[in-house]
Amino acid sequence: MDSTPLIMKYFKTQGMKVLDVSSGRYSAVVKCRTKENKIEFYGLCPNQDCFKHIGGSDNITSVYKHYINKINIDGETIADFSMGMESVYFLKAPKQ
Protein backbone atom coordinates (compact mmCIF):
# COMPACT_ATOMS: atom_id res chain seq x y z
CA MET A 1 0.00 0.00 0.00
CA ASP A 2 1.33 3.40 -0.86
CA SER A 3 0.20 5.06 2.41
CA THR A 4 1.19 2.49 5.04
CA PRO A 5 2.44 5.07 7.59
CA LEU A 6 -0.86 6.97 7.37
CA ILE A 7 -2.84 3.79 7.83
CA MET A 8 -1.05 2.88 11.05
CA LYS A 9 -1.27 6.47 12.28
CA TYR A 10 -5.06 6.36 11.85
CA PHE A 11 -5.54 3.77 14.59
CA LYS A 12 -3.29 5.64 17.02
CA THR A 13 -4.95 9.01 16.41
CA GLN A 14 -8.38 7.44 16.96
CA GLY A 15 -7.25 6.18 20.38
CA MET A 16 -7.52 2.54 19.36
CA LYS A 17 -5.28 -0.28 20.48
CA VAL A 18 -4.41 -2.79 17.75
CA LEU A 19 -4.86 -6.28 19.19
CA ASP A 20 -4.21 -8.47 16.16
CA VAL A 21 -3.58 -8.29 12.42
CA SER A 22 -4.04 -10.90 9.72
CA SER A 23 -3.11 -10.32 6.10
CA GLY A 24 -3.71 -11.96 2.76
CA ARG A 25 -2.51 -11.32 -0.76
CA TYR A 26 -4.06 -7.87 -1.21
CA SER A 27 -5.88 -7.04 2.02
CA ALA A 28 -5.56 -7.22 5.78
CA VAL A 29 -7.90 -7.29 8.76
CA VAL A 30 -7.11 -5.45 12.00
CA LYS A 31 -8.74 -6.24 15.35
CA CYS A 32 -8.88 -3.18 17.60
CA ARG A 33 -10.08 -2.13 21.03
CA THR A 34 -11.69 1.32 20.93
CA LYS A 35 -11.58 4.08 23.55
CA GLU A 36 -15.03 2.86 24.62
CA ASN A 37 -13.53 -0.62 25.26
CA LYS A 38 -15.37 -2.21 22.30
CA ILE A 39 -13.85 -4.72 19.89
CA GLU A 40 -14.01 -3.64 16.25
CA PHE A 41 -12.59 -5.02 13.01
CA TYR A 42 -11.17 -2.98 10.15
CA GLY A 43 -10.26 -4.07 6.64
CA LEU A 44 -7.26 -2.57 4.87
CA CYS A 45 -7.43 -2.47 1.07
CA PRO A 46 -5.14 -1.01 -1.59
CA ASN A 47 -8.12 -0.22 -3.84
CA GLN A 48 -11.91 -0.56 -4.06
CA ASP A 49 -11.67 -3.75 -6.13
CA CYS A 50 -10.40 -5.51 -3.00
CA PHE A 51 -13.51 -4.73 -0.93
CA LYS A 52 -14.78 -8.20 -1.87
CA HIS A 53 -11.91 -9.71 0.15
CA ILE A 54 -13.06 -8.09 3.40
CA GLY A 55 -16.79 -8.72 3.21
CA GLY A 56 -18.00 -6.69 0.24
CA SER A 57 -18.96 -3.04 -0.08
CA ASP A 58 -22.39 -3.67 1.51
CA ASN A 59 -20.77 -4.87 4.76
CA ILE A 60 -18.16 -2.18 5.32
CA THR A 61 -18.06 1.51 6.15
CA SER A 62 -15.21 3.65 4.85
CA VAL A 63 -13.36 5.51 7.61
CA TYR A 64 -10.21 6.66 5.78
CA LYS A 65 -10.47 7.03 2.01
CA HIS A 66 -10.70 3.54 0.51
CA TYR A 67 -7.75 2.25 2.52
CA ILE A 68 -9.40 1.68 5.92
CA ASN A 69 -12.91 0.29 6.23
CA LYS A 70 -14.81 -0.67 9.36
CA ILE A 71 -16.25 -4.14 8.96
CA ASN A 72 -19.87 -4.05 10.10
CA ILE A 73 -19.80 -7.00 12.49
CA ASP A 74 -20.31 -7.22 16.25
CA GLY A 75 -16.71 -7.66 17.33
CA GLU A 76 -17.73 -8.89 20.77
CA THR A 77 -19.23 -12.04 19.21
CA ILE A 78 -16.06 -13.05 17.33
CA ALA A 79 -13.86 -15.72 18.93
CA ASP A 80 -11.18 -15.73 16.23
CA PHE A 81 -10.47 -14.51 12.71
CA SER A 82 -8.08 -15.07 9.86
CA MET A 83 -7.35 -13.47 6.52
CA GLY A 84 -6.79 -16.04 3.81
CA MET A 85 -5.23 -15.34 0.45
CA GLU A 86 -8.36 -13.51 -0.73
CA SER A 87 -11.05 -13.82 1.95
CA VAL A 88 -11.55 -13.03 5.62
CA TYR A 89 -12.91 -15.72 7.95
CA PHE A 90 -14.66 -15.03 11.26
CA LEU A 91 -15.32 -17.68 13.91
CA LYS A 92 -18.24 -16.65 16.06
CA ALA A 93 -18.10 -17.40 19.77
CA PRO A 94 -20.75 -19.73 21.20
CA LYS A 95 -23.63 -17.97 22.92
CA GLN A 96 -23.23 -17.86 26.68
List the chain pLDDT tens, one digit each, 96 residues: 455 566 678 898 999 999 999 988 889 999 999 999 999 999 988 888 888 888 888 899 999 888 899 999 999 999 999 998 888 999 998 887
Distances (CA, A) of 25 to 12, 42, 45, 72, 88: 25, 16, 10, 22, 11
Q: What residue numbers bound the domain in which 45 lies?
A: 4-92
Query: What pTM was computed for the model?
Result: 0.87
Domains contained in the chain, number: 1
For residue 75, what pLDDT is reported? 94
